[in-house]
Amino acid sequence: MESARKESIRIGFVGAGFMGQLVHLPNFTEMAGCEVVALADRRSGLARRVADRFGIPTTCVSHEEICADPTIDAVVQITSDDAHAPVSIDALNAGKHVYVEKPMATNLSDARRMVEAAERNGRQLQIGYMKRFDTGVEMARSIIDELRSTGELGAITHARGHCFAGDWVCNAGTAITTDETYPEIESRPPEWLEQERIGDIYSTNNLYCHNINLMRFLLGEVRELRFATLDGPTKLMVFAMDGFDAVLELGRLSANFWDESVKVYFEDGWVEISTPPPLLKNVPARVSVYRAGDIQQHAQPQAPRDWAFRRANAHFVSCIRSGAPVRSSGADSIRDQELLEEAFRRF
């Protein structure tokens, strides 16, 4: 991977909405080693007001203008899900590195085309799976890996992922709004999917792709999708892992807290990770380790305070500079889209 090898990475930002304003723009505009030099949004009034707030010198009405600028090194696009693939592919073909929010795409064909464009042009494609950069999640993965290596607690017998959501914003701030018409964007569902299931796959992909990805990050690759039930208010998926099964419980809860966790059972204990509300800054996942048998010890190691979003954004800039591969690459993230679509095809 070619490194930019310059003092400052110049970023063109696409999308002036809620997540851009409250998460990604503050991170990238305050980060050492990069500068946001242009902001594109079809709502020109909103783009100008947001650019003024964050000190961005140039606004555009289309991502094509950013792609055409040879001085821009990378594109960060925080747009609607249907725009992820078209904007990313245009930017990659223009020689830009790309950071795109999850989900990677709204259909598997688009996801594959994104990876092909990144590989063909020798550019980084990072998907916004920020949970991989949570310091508590990193700690938990290290603990799980060590326990598997040493056999201290025996083999893994089961894993349970759980997300019923809740309050994910946590009074993070107020975004600039506009009365401008939201631009019409072509819907890009899987071509084979029945019309009446499109809304369901979109909502499932938008939120729960995180949980599929997190399970894979902590435990390794999914060998097989054993079962799924997707039509009710609670969705279940069962994955065959390496010697054990992992269950995902996915639903909704009206709560003033965030209800999400992964629990990994060994023969003689468990490791549990409870992730924080996404927009709650500087609060890492809680990690709990129970050692059973003759030990009977329950420990709660503390991870350093930091914000997963900020670390994910900084990782992108660091990898552009060094040429090291990004942790949550498009090539890796294709598997999340494969499993989701297989579940909707088969069950």
- At residue 232, does pLDDT exceed 70? yes
Q: Is residue 186 part of a domain?
A: yes
- At residue 212, does pLDDT exceed 80? yes
The answer on 144 and 261 residing in a single domain is: yes
Q: Is residue 40 part of a domain?
A: yes
Encode pLDDT of 110-133 as tens digits. Answer: 999 999 999 999 999 999 999 999
The answer on 265 and 219 residing in a single domain is: yes
The answer on 146 and 159 residing in a single domain is: yes
Dihedral sign, Cα of residue 331, residue 265, residue 247, residue 129: negative
Question: Which tokens go with 296?
Answer: 């009977």
The answer on 146 and 251 residing in a single domain is: yes
State the Cα–Cα distance between residues 195 and 189, nearest whole angstrom.
9
Question: Which tokens go with 306?
Answer: 């930091």
* Contacts for 231 with CB less than 8 Å, ≥ 6 apart: 200
The answer on 315 and 300 residing in a single domain is: no
pLDDT of residue 6: 66
pLDDT of residue 295: 87
Strands 125-127 and 235-240: unpaired
- At residue 4, does pLDDT exceed 70? no
Q: pLDDT exceeding 70 applies to what percent of the chain?
A: 98
Phi, psi of 232 (to 5 degrees): -90, 180
The range of the structural domain enclosing residue 287 comes to 131-306+337-346
The answer on 317 and 242 residing in a single domain is: no
CATH number at residue 15: 3.40.50.720
pLDDT of residue 294: 87
* Contacts for 63 with CB less than 8 Å, ≥ 6 apart: 12, 14, 40, 75, 77, 87, 90, 91
State the Cα–Cα distance between residues 260 and 214, nearest whole angstrom.
11
pLDDT of residue 3: 44
Q: What is the mean pLDDT of residues 191-205?
A: 97
Encode pLDDT of 119-176 as tens digits. Answer: 999 999 999 999 999 999 999 999 999 999 999 999 999 999 999 999 999 999 999 9
Q: Is residue 235 part of a domain?
A: yes
Encode pLDDT of 214-231 as tens digits. Answer: 999 999 999 999 999 998
The answer on 232 and 154 residing in a single domain is: yes
Q: Is residue 4 part of a domain?
A: no
State the Cα–Cα distance between residues 123 and 34, nearest whole angstrom.
17
Dihedral sign, Cα of residue 143, residue 144, residue 150, residue 154: positive
The answer on 261 and 160 residing in a single domain is: yes
The answer on 137 and 106 residing in a single domain is: no
The answer on 204 and 104 residing in a single domain is: no
Q: Is residue 3 part of a domain?
A: no
Q: Is residue 296 part of a domain?
A: yes
Domain count, the chain: 2
CATH number at residue 254: 3.30.360.10
- At residue 194, does pLDDT exceed 50? yes
Cα distances from 43 to residues 17, 60, 229, in angstroms, run 10, 9, 39
State the Cα–Cα distance between residues 339 and 334, nearest whole angstrom.
9
Compute and round to an integer the Cα radius of gyration of the chain: 20
Cis preceding-peptide flag for 103 (omega within 30 of 0): yes
The answer on 73 and 177 residing in a single domain is: no
Q: Is residue 268 part of a domain?
A: yes
The answer on 180 and 125 residing in a single domain is: no
Q: Is residue 1 part of a domain?
A: no
